[in-house]
C-alpha cells in the first residue's frame, strides 16, 4: 500500500523535522521542482475549505502536477455509493487523493481501498497539515521549537489533537485549556505523553489563565467546528466569555508572545478583533505557511 499522511503520527520524529527544514528551504529559495510531473491528484472535499484547498491546488501545480477537484455532492457518493467503491475507482484513475472529510475513518477507507497516497486535508480527529504550518511559523517567529511553550485555549478539537502530537514530538511544551467536558481525546493525550522527549510539558487544564501564564504562543480556534453546528448555542454559552483570547488573557503570556489562529476566525467569539489584528498576531504568516509545508509534504511522499 502507498504511504499516506493521515496523522502527525504517520511520520517519525526525524521525518517531521525533515519536513519542516524542507518547507523552510522551499519558502526561502522557491526553487522550481517538478516532482509531480505527469501525475494527477484528486482533491476530494466533503467540507468547505479556503486555505487548505487553495494551498494544495497551488502546491500541486507548482510541483508540475495536475489536480482534479471533487465535491462530494457532485459524485455518486451523494446517491449512496459506498466510499470504498469510490476509493477503488479513484485509485485506478489518479496518483493520489487529498481528502477533507467528516469522519477520520473515511480517510482510512480511502487509503485502504484506493491504494494510492491519501493526505488528510482535515477530519474530525486531526488536521495534520495545519500543525505542520504551525510548527514552521513558530520556528520562524521564535527561532526555535524545543522549549517553547504553547497555550491552546478553546475546544479540544482536531486542530488541538494535531498540535498536541506535533508539539510533543518536537519538544514544544503545550498546555491545553478547555471547559470541562471539551478536553482533547484521552488517547491523543496519552500518545503525546508517550512520544514527548524528557522534560517536555504536556498539560490538559480547565483554566485558560493557568495555560496562558508565561506562554510564548497563545493559540485558539473556533468554538464550533464544522459538523458541530447543532451545538452552537450550547457551546458558545459554555466557552464565552472565559475562554476568549482577548487583551486581558493575553496580558498573562510572556512579553513578546505571538498569537495564532488556524482560521477562519469568528471575531468576538474565540478571539477579539483587536488581538487578531494586533501586533502579536501572526495568523496571516501562519496561513501563508500552508503552501510551503504542503509542497514539502508532497515532495516527501512522491520524491
Catalytic residues: 100, 127, 130, 221, 262, 290
Q: What's the CA gap between 37 and 31, in Å, rounded?
A: 15
Q: How far is CA 67 from CA 86, 94, 118, 302, in A?
A: 17, 9, 14, 15
The grid coordinates of residue 135 equal 510548527
- Eight-state DSSP code of residue 183: P
Q: What's the CA gap between 287 and 271, in Å, rounded?
A: 17
Buried b (16+ CB within 10 A) or exposed e, 27-65: beeeeeeeebeebebbbbbbbebebbbebbbebbebbeb
Q: What's the CA gap between 134 and 10, in Å, rounded?
A: 17
Grid cell 484547498 is found at 53
For the chain, the distance separating the N- and C-terminal CA atoms, rounded to the nearest angstrom, is 16
Amino acid at each position: 500500500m502507498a504511504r499516506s499522511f493521515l496523522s502527525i503520527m504517520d511520520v517519525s520524529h526525524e521525518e517531521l523535522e525533515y519536513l519542516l527544514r524542507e518547507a523552510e528551504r522551499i519558502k526561502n529559495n522557491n526553487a522550481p521542482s517538478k516532482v509531480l510531473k505527469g501525475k494527477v491528484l484528486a482533491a476530494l472535499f466533503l467540507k468547505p475549505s479556503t486555505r487548505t484547498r487553495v494551498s494544495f491546488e497551488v502546491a500541486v501545480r507548482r510541483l508540475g502536477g495536475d489536480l482534479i477537484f471533487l465535491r462530494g455532492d457532485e459524485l455518486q457518493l451523494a446517491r449512496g455509493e459506498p466510499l470504498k467503491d469510490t476509493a477503488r475507482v479513484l485509485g485506478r484513475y489518479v496518483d493520489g487523493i487529498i481528502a477533507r472529510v467528516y469522519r477520520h475513518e473515511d480517510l482510512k477507507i480511502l487509503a485502504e481501498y484506493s491504494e494510492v497516497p491519501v493526505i488528510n486535508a482535515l477530519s474530525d480527529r486531526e488536521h495534520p497539515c495545519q500543525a505542520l504550518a504551525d510548527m514552521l511559523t513558530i520556528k520562524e517567529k521564535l527561532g526555535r521549537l524545543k522549549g517553547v511553550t504553547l497555550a491552546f485555549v478553546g475546544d479540544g478539537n482536531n486542530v488541538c489533537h494535531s498540535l498536541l502530537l506535533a508539539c510533543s514530538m518536537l519538544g514544544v511544551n503545550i498546555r491545553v485549556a478547555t471547559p470541562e467536558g471539551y478536553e482533547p481525546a484521552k488517547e491523543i493525550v496519552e500518545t503525546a505523553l508517550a512520544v514527548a522527549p524528557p522534560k517536555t510539558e504536556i498539560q490538559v487544564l480547565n483554566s485558560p489563565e493557568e495555560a496562558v501564564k508565561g506562554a510564548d504562543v497563545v493559540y485558539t480556534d473556533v468554538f464550533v467546528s464544522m459538523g458541530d453546528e447543532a451545538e452552537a448555542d450550547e457551546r458558545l454559552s459554555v466557552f464565552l466569555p472565559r475562554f476568549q483570547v482577548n487583551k486581558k488573557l493575553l496580558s498573562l503570556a510572556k512579553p513578546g508572545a505571538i498569537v495564532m489562529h488556524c482560521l477562519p476566525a469568528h471575531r468576538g467569539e474565540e478571539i477579539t478583533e483587536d488581538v487578531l489584528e494586533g501586533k502579536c498576531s501572526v495568523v496571516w504568516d501562519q496561513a501563508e505557511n500552508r503552501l510551503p509545508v504542503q509542497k514539502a509534504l508532497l515532495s516527501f511522499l512522491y520524491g
